[in-house]
Homo-oligomer: A and B are copies of this chain.
Amino acid sequence: MNSQEVRIFETKERILANNDKAAALVRERMDDKKCLFINLMSSPGAGKTTTIVKTLEELGKVRPGVRTGVMEADVDSDVDARTVAGAGAEAIQLHTGGSCHMDADMTWRGLTQMKPEGLDLIILENVGNLVCPAEFDVGADFRVMILSVPEGDDKPLKYPLMFTVSDVLLVNKTDTASIFDFDFDALERRVHALNPDMKIFPVCAKSGEGFAPWIAWLAEKLDKKCGK
């Protein structure tokens, strides 16, 4: 490394260390408030917003009265917050001002605005990006990632950190699996080689197909966190 590279590397290490401290604080505060906090990540266009809308709809059936909020992080637009609000959820938009990921400080500012003490579940829709959001812990209880079938079953080989740090993988757009020659067995092998504990749920967010096991997982974590 030349001296400029060393400087950039050290700056990044310092930023990540500071972020880890801030994330631990977010987690502690959200524990106090008994509010489950999920960090949802994926590539652009993998179906984060559609998945959130369908998840809230299906969760409402098994846990009626659950109080939910959604934070939509976007480089620069309000498209998703409008969609989610249209589905009846409380939603706020967080503009990252060009940044490619949310960090724990930005997240905490969003959370205080949402008032988590009055909510059971908050979902953060992170910036569409498989690289940087994997590095920045935002203090969520769980990291959930979406891989959509059209992206291909080889993505764990190319973006390993995201698959390593996430707890749950939703494989979305399963209705297109035959068109894209998607190999679920190969995907599972590649994912579990990186992260043996990762839960994998194949889903179709448009139709709701395959949502039951994912909703059951979420409801269980919700019950445990909210102590209901």
Which positions 39-64 of chain A face chain B at CB distance < 8 Å? 43-45
A160 touches B76 (CB 8 A): yes
Residues of B within 8 A of A158 (CB): 44, 74-77, 79-80, 128
| Least distance between A38 CB and chain B CB atoms (Å) | 21
Bound-state CA distance A157–B176 (Å) is 25
Residues of B within 8 A of A132 (CB): 100, 129, 131-132
- Which of B98, B128, B155, B161 has a CB less than 8 Å from the CB of A130? B128
Residue of B whose beta carbon sits closest to that of A7: B11
A112 within 8 A of B: no
| Least distance between A158 CB and chain B CB atoms (Å) | 5
Interface size on A, residues (CB 8 A): 37
A204 within 8 A of B: no
- Contact digits for A118-142, partner B, Cβ 8 Å, 1 yes 0 no: 0000000001111110010000000
B45 touches A131 (CB 8 A): no
Could you name 5 residue pairs across A and B whose Cβ atoms are closer than 8 Å?
A43-B151, A75-B160, A80-B158, A129-B131, A150-B176
Instruction: Name the residue in A15, A45, A151, A152 with the highest tally of chain B Cβ atoms < 10 Å from its Cβ.
Output: A45
Residue of B whose beta carbon sits closest to that of A42: B44
- Which of B79, B173, B176, B179 has a CB less than 8 Å from the CB of A154? B79
